[in-house]
Amino acid sequence: MLKKRIRHFQRYRDIVYAFTRYGFGFVMNELGLLDLLSVPKKVFTEGNKTIRNKTTGERLRLFLEELGPTFIKIGQIVSTRPDVIPNEIIQELEKLQDQVPLFPYQEVKQIIELEFDQPIEDLFVEFSEFPLAAASIGQVHDAVLSTGERVAVKVQRPNIQPMIETDLEILQDLARLAESRLDWAVRYQIRDIVSELAASIRLELDYENEGRNTERIARQFEQNPKVMIPKIHWDYTTPKVLTMDYMEGIKLNETAKLEQAGYDKKILAERVVHSVFEQILVDGFFHGDPHPGNILALPGEVIAFLDFGIVGRLTTQMKTHVASFMIALMNQNTDEVVKTITNMGLVPEDVNQDKLRADVDQLREKYISIPFSEMKAGQAVNELFSVAYRHRVQIPTDLTILGKTLLTIEGIVEKLDPDLSIIKVAEPFGRQMVKDRLNPKNVAEKVWNQFFEYSTIVNELPRTVKDFTSVMKKGKMRIELSSPELDEFLKKLNRISNRFSFSILLLSFSIIMGGLIIGAAMTGQTSVLLSKVPLIEIGFGLGTTMSVLLLLSIFRSGRF
């Protein structure tokens, strides 16, 4: 940890100073970094003067923007977590702008030529020097291939990866330090949150991953001409350069332009909702950041989705949970909603079920008064996640991305067609999923899969038991338990085993005696003599005595 601080000393200072200037210096103070990095007290004073009239959300947004691409991207990702972040802060984080300068064409040209090891003129017939758009990680240029196809080329910023890796390394260091010193950091599992954010950002840095995401979504709509996904040109794509079809259209939030172009906004709204629910509830792989800039309207009310750097993934089980939640919400069924929360996340053992149910009841009562047509799926899901968070129910990241996606889509649809109910559009998808789940063929397939799973466990059981007993024989496992109830139980178990052994001995003796008697009968003898000793008579006497003793022991125990 100390080596990292020395290696990234200046960046550490920048981050700690920013924390302090924007009113979050108490966190750095609790971590002991203010004294370590010799932060002057005037930074506190200057910071307080600057931010005195700003809200926590505003200060947090300005703080992230000042620290650059890594922190902006973290803010954008965190804004998808309404289960963790208060709504007023999320509203500010959604305003985060990529306050980064354009990088010059010469650097763009150099990156492309290094990636493909050939002159840019050999790759593209035309290449616009001025970017169409710029963001924290890269910028997009208009170009034309030798085939005449018009494409959009996304180029990653120079040296962005080492810069982001440095910031992520520092944040992971701070998270470890926080969990070692602060109870709240352990409670909120700060290290896990930072690791999750780091993994998400690293995926966005890989443009080939974005290309694969784009193609997977495109396959979902191969038979639907009303939904367009840009084609990826893999011969012109690397981890730092992404080339795709150029899509020219009108952003869905530009309602005046849509009206001027003669688009039917109601049709656009319905197609957006249908396509999103098809991604979520049919394929379980969906656009994780469908803001208005990433959805275009094309002639014929065709919609086009762009930018698949962030995606959500739902397993079959998670899709079922989402469908069950929507149906429970429509039916105003509190028990089913509580059950859905429990099934969706990791519920702590000490959760107060009564309080959880009371909070869900309160949420249900809110939605009882709302007409079905006005019910908002995104808002309901995010409020549900807030309830889950209050009770420390851990909701999987992909489900929080889903909540954010629904909320964003609702915002778009509200401007296009305020009368369209997303819940109503989602209802057929949810009911179809429930039907599919109850379909005898699917049930049989599930049972069959479970049978194979359990048969594997059974097949491995003898080896597992053998390994366990081998370890115990070698004395490598030692278990010591002390409990009055356990001691009494062991005594009873010992008596039972002794009686069981006695019974087996008696049974063996009886079998031997039976054999002697049968042998004597076959030879016509009335007794069997061994050195003039009558074995049958003696054996009968011993057997009778042993049987009487066993019966007395059973009666004496009081448990016949």
Q: How far apart, in whole angstroms, are the C-alpha atoms of residue 184 and residue 31?
A: 13
Cβ proximity of 408 and 275 under 8 Å: no
Residues 6+ apart with CB under 8 A from 525: none
361 labelled catalytic: no
* Measured CA distances, 16 to 13, 27, 35, 275, 321 (Å): 5, 9, 11, 44, 42
Q: Are strands 250-251 and 295-298 parallel, antiparallel or unpaired?
A: antiparallel
* Measured CA distances, 288 to 116, 151, 370, 428 (Å): 30, 23, 28, 22
DSSP string, 472-509: HHTT--------HHHHHHHHHHHHHHHHHHHHHHHHHH
Q: How far apart, in whole angstroms, are the C-alpha atoms of residue 83 and residue 81?
A: 5
Show the tokens assigned to 546.
Answer: 């042993």
Instruction: Name the DSSP letter for residue 282.
Output: I
**What angle do the packed helices 160-181 and 190-204 form, to 10 degrees?**
170
Residues 6+ apart with CB under 8 A from 130: 105, 141
* CA-closest candidate to residue 287, choices 398, 169, 172, 370: 398
**What angle do the packed helices 265-277 and 422-438 form, to 10 degrees?**
30
- Three-state secondary-structure class, residue 346: strand
Cβ proximity of 79 and 96 under 8 Å: yes
**Bridge partners of residue 245, in order along the sequence:** 151
Question: What values do phi and psi take at 64, rounded to 5?
Answer: -65, -40
Cβ proximity of 32 and 181 under 8 Å: yes
Cβ proximity of 321 and 343 under 8 Å: yes
**Catalytic option among 142, 167, 289, 359:** 289
Q: How far apart, in whole angstroms, are the C-alpha atoms of residue 384 and residue 363?
A: 8
**Bridge partners of residue 199, in order along the sequence:** none
Question: What values do phi and psi take at 174, rounded to 5?
Answer: -65, -35
Q: How far apart, in whole angstroms, are the C-alpha atoms of residue 355 and residue 343?
A: 17
Cβ proximity of 351 and 392 under 8 Å: yes
Amino acid in the structure at residue 455: S
* CA-closest candidate to residue 398, choices 288, 308, 273: 288
117: left (phi over 0), alpha (psi -120 to 50) or beta: left
Q: How far apart, in whole angstroms, are the C-alpha atoms of residue 159 and residue 100?
A: 14
* CA-closest candidate to residue 128, choices 114, 109, 147, 115: 109
Distance between alpha carbon 447 and the CA centroid of its chain, in Å? 26
Residues with catalytic function: 289
